[in-house]
Amino acid sequence: MRHYPNFYIDGAWVAPVTPKTADVINPATEAVSGTISLGSVADVDNAVAAARRAFPAWSQTSVADRLDLLRAIQAQYSRRMQELGEAVTEEMGAPLSLGCGFHVGLGAGHLQTAIEVLETFKFEEQRGATMILREPIGVCGLITPWNWPLNQVTVKVFPALATGCTMVLKPPQLAPYSAQILAEMIADAGVPAGVFNMVQGQGSVIGAALSKHPQVDMISFTGSEPVGVQISKDAADTVKRVGLELGGKSAWVILDDADMAANVGAATAGMMVNAGQTCSAGSRLLVPNARLEEAVAAATAAANGVTVGDPHGDVGMGPVVSKAQWNIVQGYIQKGLDEGARLIAGGPGRPDGLDKGYYCKPTVFVTTNDTTIAREEIFGPVLVIIGYDDLDHAVAIANDSIFGLGGYVSGRDTDAARSVARRMRTGAVWINGGFDFHAPFGGYKRSGNGREWGAFGFDEYLEIKAISGFGE
């Protein structure tokens, strides 16, 4: 059992102003795995006041000072990676190989990237007699979800620290452990008091208090669209900058010259990673109609090949995060059946032999782009395959979505792949598995408005000042 009764505020581990404890559930066992404290508005006020007091000094630190802190955090991070991965597995059910692998690796990658970007970032730029300064925006409220808990905290906290901002982090109730350990690392690395603060608790209390707070200058949020909308409204009265990273229904286009078995297999297995709880998941697989049955065979084999079970075992997929999420996923699977989609793998209920834990079956449907399961973000291990006639048709289907987060293209014809990628109305496209920590990540349309990762992620936390008449 883990017990994390304290918040990190003003350089100290402190008890909540009003004590309140909540259980954290292990999604693999449905048993209580530990407890956290739930904060109140008074805790937010204390954390924001500390961040406000720390801002004048931290915002004036040198790049070298901030690099020293990030490198000290890096030393802590590399020492405790196994512990972090185990925390991710326990809090949200990712297989341990994934928790200790990609989950922890993404955090390490964002930290290393923040260091690399900070080493050369241009905070000042002279244009004729005008000096352009990029200055830290101030006190930031960072609100994160449970699905890639470490990724989403690190992609906010490290750029915020690097740019000279101070902050209050609000981790997800469902997955609070990895954030707690990361906060210990940041504290142990010697962050100055008030620069980094963390308050656990309910989004409707802590998140809303941050969004409305007159002493908070900016909110960075990752999570669901309705909460993103609510935060924007709450932040409007104080004219905060709000960075939103919301959901997606990203298309994965398989070109007609692709190795169908290999690429459909990879896309299907990719959908099941993290039990499908990935905002940028390629959840709509677009294949040439002429090769649809080949794709169906490959997807069925790949989905049936994903082993599901105890995330501490040698499995490809653990449970989804919560009972509520399990119910949402089951609802969509039933909706797919009700709307006449063709089920080619998985289906309703738990996999055979698993009667405890929020396990779903790796599920694949063949359908059209007008069905609910093709239009709404399911956030579970459910892939839909949609046939296309030619590349114009593929692009039209890909773009026929309220979302615009990611896109994938697989195939041999480089010109065709690039053309499809250019025409996708999304913030990111990955061709043949390309991946880059320095590439910006964020959405078009209802997938949000911010850009995280790399140097673009720094811009989220910076104001731009022009000093005219500065002189040559």
Site of interaction with ligand NAP (CB under 6 A):
143-147, 170, 172-173, 202-204, 207-208, 211, 222-224, 227, 230-231, 246-247, 279, 325, 328, 377, 379
Pairing of strands 124-127, 130-136: antiparallel
Question: Closest distance between ligand NAP and the C-beta of residue 200, in Å?
Answer: 8
* 105-110-114 Cα angle (round to 5): 150
Q: Which helix (H) or strand (E) holds 41?
A: helix 41-59
Question: Closest distance between ligand NAP and the C-beta of residue 70, in Å?
Answer: 24
Pairwise CA distance, residues 147 & 278, whole Å: 7
The residue among 60 and 204 lying less far from ligand NAP, judged by its C-beta, is 204
Helix, strand, or coil (residue 31): coil
Which amino acid is present at 247?
G
Pairwise CA distance, residues 51 & 168, whole Å: 7
Which amino acid is present at 165?
C
Retrieve residue 406's tokens. 């990611």
The Cβ of residue 436 has, within 10 Å, a number of other Cβ atoms equal to: 12
Retrieve residue 302's tokens. 């790949």
Q: Which helix (H) or strand (E) holds 232?
A: helix 225-236
The residue among 90 and 377 lying less far from ligand NAP, judged by its C-beta, is 377
Pick left, alpha or beta for residue 250 (phi over 0 → left; psi -120 to 50 → alpha; otherwise beta). beta
Choosing from 91, 245, 452, 460, the catalytic residue is: 245
The residue among 256 and 377 lying less far from ligand NAP, judged by its C-beta, is 377
The Cβ of residue 202 has, within 10 Å, a number of other Cβ atoms equal to: 15
Choose among 261, 355, 352: nearest CA to 299: 261
The Cβ of residue 248 has, within 10 Å, a number of other Cβ atoms equal to: 31
The residue among 144 and 363 lying less far from ligand NAP, judged by its C-beta, is 144
Question: Closest distance between ligand NAP and the C-beta of residue 406, in Å?
Answer: 11
The residue among 98 and 298 lying less far from ligand NAP, judged by its C-beta, is 98
Catalytic (active site) residue 294 = no
Q: Which residues contact 193 (CB under 8 A, 6 or more apart)?
A: 10, 11, 12, 50, 54
| DSSP bridge partners of 385 | 285, 366
Choose among 397, 318, 340: nearest CA to 92: 318
Choose among 149, 159, 172: nearest CA to 102: 149
Helix, strand, or coil (residue 398): helix
Choosing from 165, 279, 377, 460, the catalytic residue is: 279
The residue among 325 and 449 lying less far from ligand NAP, judged by its C-beta, is 325
Catalytic (active site) residue 165 = no
Question: Closest distance between ligand NAP and the C-beta of residue 441, in Å?
Answer: 10
Half-sphere exposure of 49 (CA within 13 A, CB side): 6
| DSSP bridge partners of 243 | 220
Question: Closest distance between ligand NAP and the C-beta of residue 215, in Å?
Answer: 16
Question: Closest distance between ligand NAP and the C-beta of residue 172, in Å?
Answer: 4
Pick left, alpha or beta for residue 424 (phi over 0 → left; psi -120 to 50 → alpha; otherwise beta). beta
The residue among 206 and 258 lying less far from ligand NAP, judged by its C-beta, is 206
Pairwise CA distance, residues 419 & 179, whole Å: 40
The residue among 74 and 147 lying less far from ligand NAP, judged by its C-beta, is 147
Question: Closest distance between ligand NAP and the C-beta of residue 416, in Å?
Answer: 29
The residue among 118 and 279 lying less far from ligand NAP, judged by its C-beta, is 279
Question: Closest distance between ligand NAP and the C-beta of residue 356, in Å?
Answer: 22
Question: Closest distance between ligand NAP and the C-beta of residue 193, in Å?
Answer: 25
Residues designated catalytic:
245, 279
